Amino acid sequence: MKVLIIEDLHPFLKEELEKTDWQCNVQVGISKEKLKEIISTYDGIALRSFKLSKEILEKAKKLKFIARAGSGMENIDVEYAESRGIKCINSPEGNRDAVAEHALGMLLSLFNNLNNADKEVRSGIWDRKGNWGVALQGKTVGIIGFGNTGNAFAKRLQGLDVKIIACDKYKTGFETDLVQEVDLKTLFKETDVLSLHIPLNDETKFMVNNDFIQQFNKSFYLINTSRGKVVKTDDLVEHLKSGKITGACLDVLEYEGELFEEIRNQKPEIRNSSFDYLLKSEKVILSPHVAGWTNEAYLKHSQVLAEKIKTLNSEL
């Protein structure tokens, strides 16, 4: 059995699979055209962000599985792959703790003005009152999506004296002493801090838009460590300006990757005004889609995938 690894995954995956007589070929940085030429000779492929389209998969005559290091599968034409009997697996267990810790870190940094305070002190400004923070204690944290990362984030909130409520359209019966399971109407009514832990699909694309935001009874803080296009940037900025959204922690953006660089390099007078607002606002903390990546998560992804591939192999 042969597997092709086309992106930077922890060497553990290759080492573990080769213990069970897999042949692993690592070709990090392979081009789309080269992949189309060679994919027909492989039984499996492992990747992170490479776009695996129907055009490529049509050439994969022997392929039995696609293994993605990460949670979302939007870079893979899963529907077509599964129609061909190709199993699609991922590793959300590998980075759930990293995402949860990153989300909490961003929130605490925003609440305590740490980015601004650090910048001012380094510039010789000692403004204590101007950098007073906001207490997280006593707030109600609403979580949408209670899968791997939503659950892990709730656990990280233990000990912070907050009320945690969560809703998940596709999951029920998860209420515990720590988390109260609620419907969306209740979440709109009670939330002070909203954290998104949902995939990007036709249903969730730009879910957080003007109509969605207006349904909240109170002003709230937004955390998005899921996917950038779950949130409509123009509507987010409109409500940041009005105060309906008090602040935002954004690890992901509607404009990211190559599009981020393209917009960032434009002259200020022709750049997207909402994009510019996010870059300049002290109400916003940004990071480059890195919540799910720590040194530990880098290894965990490969550990999770190795176990899933071995289990899958025994079933084939």
Residue type, 278: L
Q: Is 227 a catalytic residue?
A: yes
Query: Are 233 and 254 in contact, with CB atoms under 8 Å apart?
Result: yes
Which residue type does 198 have?
A: I
CA-based nearest residue to 282, from 246, 230, 309, 312: 246
With contact defined as beta carbons under 8 Å apart, do 54 and 78 qualify?
no
Give the whole-angstrom CA distance, residue 195 versus residue 153: 9
Question: Annotated catalytic, 301?
Answer: no
Q: Are strands 220-224 and 23-26 parallel, antiparallel or unpaired?
A: unpaired
Enumerate the β-bridge partners of residue 141: 164, 193
d(C-alpha 6, C-alpha 223), whole Å: 31
Which residue among 68, 96, 227, 301 is the active-site one?
A: 227
Distance CA 303, CA 201 (A): 27
Cβ contact 153:99 at 8 Å: yes
Q: Note if 156 is an active site residue.
A: no
DSSP reduced 3-state for 314: helix
**Position of tokens 């002259």?**
267
Sign of CA dihedral 64, 69, 71, 75: negative
**CA pseudo-torsion sign 134, 140, 142, 147:** positive
CA distance 288 to 306: 27
Which of 48, 156, 256, 271 is the catalytic position?
256
Tell me which residues are annotated as active site. 227, 256, 289
